[in-house]
Amino acid sequence: MLLPSFFIIDFEKYEDVPEVNLPMNTHLCYKITSASIHFIESFYAKLFLSPKGYPFCLLLDIGELLNKPEEKDENIIELLVSFTFHARYIKNDRDNPIVLFFINKPNEGIHIADMITAFKKHGYNDVETILVRNNSVIAAQKSEAKNIFNIQGDMNNLALDYIDSIRQVVSCNSSLFFFLDTPRDLIEILETIQKTELIIKSELPQTFGLLNENISLKAKEQELIVKIKALQEQLDSLDNYHNSNSSFNRYKRQITELLAYYKSEYEILPLWYKRFGHIIQDLMGKRSFRSLFDDNVKKYKD
């Protein structure tokens, strides 16, 4: 795929998703609404136990889910957040999860703050949100695509619509969104897009070349980000090691200086004072009397 593409499927149809090798830049997005929220636990189990290795994210119908008081159950929100703990959940460069929100009315966007707060409680710095309404992306932090493809069995115009979308690209951060009525259509859609991109390569070589180069650069960027994170972890580990050793060496030095101080203080005591101390020890039964006159005799009693 020349652009990052999200194929949106109702999560109830998860088992109908075909086995297919998704191209680079292709992600599945499972839509969750209040009509299906009560089946989410079974979907959760299937998703975590499934061998399917597709990268995915969630699309939450924010109006239906959070406008109804009975749907504001904390357990449901916690469960939705825990989806992002899956190893294949899509996250941005800063490890923040990508979440799509479908809103029917402008004022429904206020509920997104509640969801973001729930995510932050679990340690995320932020959430990359994409707001979808009707047939347009109305707000996104990094996505600038304006077209949404609604696939409902008729793919006659898909090739032309896809070419038009590529022509309208004005940013390397643009994305495409495909709403699938039937998951089985995914295979045919990908085949159509693959053939269409060959047409784009022929008719729009400059655009194709730039988008293709952008894919390579983003892949290299991801590799560098992974290496930077690994190096940062090593650096933090070394800092902790040196800091702990520095503390240990400081305490050791302080103890050595303290012992040296008391030893020097003891050495400068008058001889008669030391002898008197030895006699006291003998009277208390802690030292033998003969040791006061013979260094070869055991000094202290057991």
- Let me know: does 43 contact 14? Beta carbons within 8 Å: yes
The DSSP line for 139-154 is EESS-----EEEESS-
- What is the distance between the alpha carbons of residues 59 and 102, in angstroms, rounded to a whole number? 7
Per-residue pLDDT of the chain (302 residues; tens, 9 = 90+): 888 888 988 888 888 888 888 888 888 999 888 777 778 888 888 888 877 778 889 988 866 555 555 545 567 778 888 888 888 898 887 788 988 888 776 666 667 777 888 888 888 888 888 887 765 555 454 444 456 676 655 677 888 888 888 888 777 677 888 888 888 888 888 999 999 999 989 998 888 888 888 888 777 777 777 777 777 777 777 777 766 666 667 777 777 777 777 667 666 666 655 555 555 555 556 556 555 555 555 655 55
Q: What b/e string do you get for 125-143 counting C-beta neighbours within 10 Å, with b at 16 or more?
A: eebbbbbbbeeebeebeeb
CB contact set of 192 (below 8 Å; sequence gap of 6+): 155, 158, 159, 162
The DSSP line for the chain is --S-EEEEEEGGGGGG-----PPTTEEEEEEE-TTTGGGHHHHHHHHHH------EEEEEEHHHHHSSGGG--HHHHHHHHHGGGSTTB-B-TTSPBEEEEE-SSGGGGGGHHHHHHHHHHTT-S--EEEEEETTEEEEESS-----EEEESS--TTHHHHHHHHHHT---TT--EEEEESSTTHHHHHHHHHHHHHHHHHHH-HHHHHHHHHHHHHHHHHHHHHHHHHHHHHHHHHHHHHHHHHHHHHHHHHHHHHHHHHHHHHHHTS-HHHHHHHHHHHHHTTSB-SGGGT-TTS--B--
Q: What confidence score (pLDDT) does residue 141 get? A: 47
Residue type, 129: T
Domain boundaries, the chain: 5-203, 270-302
Tokens of 1: 């795929």
Considering only CA atoms, which of 180, 169, 205, 191 is closest in space to residue 4?
169
CB contact set of 41 (below 8 Å; sequence gap of 6+): 79
Q: What is the pTM of this model?
A: 0.69
